[in-house]
Amino acid sequence: MRWIRQRLLGVVAVLVLVYLFIPIAVVAVLSFNKPDGKYNISWNEFSIDAWTNLCGVPGVCASFMTSIRIGVISTIFATVLGTMIAFALVRYRFRGRSTTNLLIFLPMTTPEVVMGASLLALFLNLRFPLGETTIIIAHIMFTISFIVVTVKARLQGMDPRLEEAARDLYANPQATFRYVTFPLVAPGIAGAALLGFSLSFDDFIISFFNAGTVVTFPIYIWGAAQRGIPVQVNALATMVFLAAMVIVLTAQFVSYRKRKALQLPPKALEAALPRS
Amino acid sequence: MSESSGRNIEDLHLKSLTKKFGEVAAVDDLTLTIPAGSFFALLGASGCGKTTTLRMVAGLEDPTSGNIVIGDKDITHLRAFQRPVNTVFQSYALFPHLDIFENVAFGLRRRKVKDVDQKVNAMLELVELGPMARRKPSQLSGGQQQRVAVARALINEPDVLLLDEPLGALDLKLRRQMQIELKRIQVEVGTTFVHVTHDQEEAMTMADTVAVMNAGRIEQMGHPADIYELPQTVFVANFLGQSNLFAGSRTGQSGEVIMVDSHGMKFSVLSSRNSARSDEIIVGIRPEKIVVRDLVDRDNVPSGHNILEGRVTDVSYTGVSTQYVVETSWGQDVTVFEQNVIVGDRCEVGDQVILHWSPEHTFGLAGGETLLHKTAQVLAAGV
């Protein structure tokens, strides 16, 4: 009994991780498959064809690049706007501030289907031609909320005394922002931008409504699913996953290095004393 | 840094300085001159307005009315970054993304001063942190961070250095060490230091002048020893050290000696040591000035001394001294500190004792019983 009790937590943890990673593992493993027929769903034969010939299927790479482009452009706009909104909400008291705070959350809570359909109705009414521009507008709209929330959290966590100290040390408002505020908030902004990009890259529903004839990567996969998904899609998806892992691991490694550097050499006697 | 002591340092004047938050005056019509080159301590309980005063001098808070003047230059309306004043913040507020060198160099770089490297290195030498120049603040201990904060402010050669509870975050041993260190630095650079603290011992050890603040006003100001020996208000008597206070009324005067009756006891107060203007007088005595003796020693009490009888209710031996709590006939507790130099028996709990002290140590304060109660409540809530 005790043997089980001592190991129960570990066993459950491993099971949960397995549950989380099996789908990703399936995607990755099947990228090395040579399907027997149209559907890449059961293991047939090992092959690296999909990896050596990534753009071998018409439309795959084009849609992938379209999604990257849309993601980058909408992230840049949303990050700049979202950061400015976050600063305004945290730093200034103005009429309509709490309303703005509330409205910012709205796109996060609205069902995507509703938002996609409403935007389509709007664009049609305005006779705005559907295409990459409309997708980008839509993406900026819904990623901005997430960026505002992320940057706001970082700003609120910042000690206001640091900016006071800068002012006290002859930094005018511009210098205070440039040398103190921005460097301290930058990690939050970078995190927000990554989040924004992944939301944009990954979006299907809203893009589908407003794409016109443009095919993004998720739209391509959806279309391909009807006829059998090419193995290249698995390979590209695995690449995206690996890229994300590299980013996460790099961040972890950097903070680990920083933490290690914090350990003072034993000769520093004061190190033993509690820090404030 | 010796060349900097040749600088022309000037007095800091606060003129009718007032700061209101809504209806509440945090600082109330404060007028004060802080002499150039002095180590000045603003002492008070939390919420007494001392930090607000400091922030107004730094330019981080706008006064509701009044003026701040250095020498003959009015700086009331200058922005924080335009003032020849620097601050050591309570939590140090070191820039976490910059190393120690860049933290210290920050002010010089903003003012585009030349020879940054040389100046920063000299300053780091002064605070004995040379080898730490390339570390980040989070890699230093509390005491080292404290010294960086001082260096970062002092390198700008401000007319006035403001210190906001600078030692509050340090443990007791390190605090003592830093008190001496700060005093040494102040003597070396000669800049005016304005030090805000709630720690009366810290204020007394470091400052040449202490101002005790309460409810937005200064209660008493002067050399630490003068304030301690002759407090002028009930608040000061209780906040700066401890005091035994007896509310009473004046019954007569012979020459220099005022007679006060309190709870049927007769006390003598020298008129030069009495700050009460009316006949209502609070008689005060510091615990270490009282001599505690067995009742049989009554005849050995020097003539003219104030005398009180009571019963010992508590004895705590603290090594250097013994602290007695003695209950008077009307139920008031009197605290007595006795140096442990006596050979033989100490008094024990339950002993009937006689307390006596010299009028030279006695002081008279304005106020009555109600003021005593009120001040006790304020102190209990505030500290």
Is residue B63 helix, strand or coil? coil
**CB within 8 Å: B80 and A183:** no
Co-location of A32 and A110 in the same domain = no
Chain B residues with beta carbon closer than 8 angstroms to that of A254: none
In this complex, is the C-beta atom of B112 within 8 Å of any C-beta atom belonging to chain A?
no
The Cα-based distances of B182 to A41, A161, B190, B297 in angstroms read: 74, 22, 12, 48
In this complex, is the C-beta atom of A172 within 8 Å of any C-beta atom belonging to chain B?
yes
Is residue A237 helix, strand or coil? helix
Co-location of A26 and A129 in the same domain = no
Q: How many domains does chain A have?
A: 2
Locate B223 and state its tokens.
């050399």
Residues in a beta bridge with B267: B260
Co-location of A22 and A153 in the same domain = no
Nearest CB to B93 within list A162, A172, A262: A162
Nearest residue on chain B to A264, alpha-carbon basis: B139
In this complex, is the C-beta atom of A180 within 8 Å of any C-beta atom belonging to chain B?
yes
Q: How do residues A46-105 score in pLDDT, each as one tens digit?
A: 888 888 888 878 888 899 999 999 999 999 999 999 999 999 998 888 888 889 888 888
Q: Which one-letter DSSP state was computed for residue A26?
A: H
Q: Which amino acid is at A114?
A: V
Co-location of A83 and A205 in the same domain = yes
Where are the domains positioned within chain B? 2-228, 241-382
- pLDDT for residue B283: 93
Nearest CB to B93 within list A161, A261, A271: A161
Co-location of A87 and A123 in the same domain = yes
Q: How do residues B194-242 score in pLDDT, each as one tens digit?
A: 999 988 888 888 899 999 998 888 999 999 999 999 999 999 998 888 8
**CB within 8 Å: B141 and A162:** no
Nearest to B27 by CA among B5, B57, B3, B69: B57
More confident residue, A191 or A256: A191
Nearest CB to B141 within list A162, A168, A271: A271
pLDDT average, residue stretch B70-76: 88
In this complex, is the C-beta atom of B86 within 8 Å of any C-beta atom belonging to chain A?
yes
Q: How do residues B326-338 score in pLDDT, each as one tens digit?
A: 999 888 899 999 8
Co-location of A16 and A115 in the same domain = no
- pLDDT for residue A262: 54
Q: Is A141 part of a structural domain of the chain?
A: yes
Question: What is the distance in angstroms between the Cα of A169 and the nearest Cα belonging to chain B?
Answer: 5
**CB within 8 Å: A159 and B170:** no
- Neighbour-count burial for B221-254, b at 16+ CB within 10 Å, e otherwise: beebeebbebbbbbbbbbbbbebbbbbbebeeee
Question: Do A185 and A148 form a contact (C-beta atoms < 8 A)?
Answer: no
What is the residue range of A49's domain?
Answer: 1-53
- pLDDT for residue B5: 44
Question: What is the distance in angstroms between the Cα of B119 and the nearest Cα belonging to chain A?
Answer: 16
Q: Is A238 part of a structural domain of the chain?
A: no
- Taking the C-alpha atoms of residue B97 and residue A179, their distance in angstroms, rounded to an integer, is 10
SS3 per residue for B314-327: EEEECCCEEEEEEE
Q: Is A212 part of a structural domain of the chain?
A: yes
In this complex, is the C-beta atom of B106 within 8 Å of any C-beta atom belonging to chain A?
yes
Co-location of A66 and A114 in the same domain = yes
Mutation target to probe the A interface, by most A beta carbons within 10 A, among B54, B87, B90 is: B87
Co-location of A40 and A71 in the same domain = no
CATH number of the domain enclosing A98: 1.10.3720.10
More confident residue, A177 or A55: A177
Question: What is the architecture, at CATH level 2, of domain B2-228?
Answer: 3-Layer(aba) Sandwich (3.40)
- Given CATH 2.40.50.140, say whether it is the number of domain B241-382: yes
| ipTM given for this complex | 0.78
Range scoring the smallest mean pLDDT among A31-45, A117-131, B87-101: A31-45
Q: What percent of chain A has pLDDT over 90?
A: 49
Chain A residues with beta carbon closer than 8 angstroms to that of B85: 168
Question: What is the distance in angstroms between the Cα of B214 and the nearest Cα belonging to chain A?
Answer: 25
Chain A residues with beta carbon closer than 8 angstroms to that of B143: 270, 273
- Residue pairs spanning A and B at CB distance below 8 A: 92
Co-location of A76 and A172 in the same domain = yes
Q: How confident is the model at residue A268 (pLDDT cuts 50, 70, 90)?
A: very low
Q: How do residues B152-184 score in pLDDT, each as one tens digit?
A: 998 998 899 999 988 877 788 888 888 888 888
- pLDDT for residue A264: 45
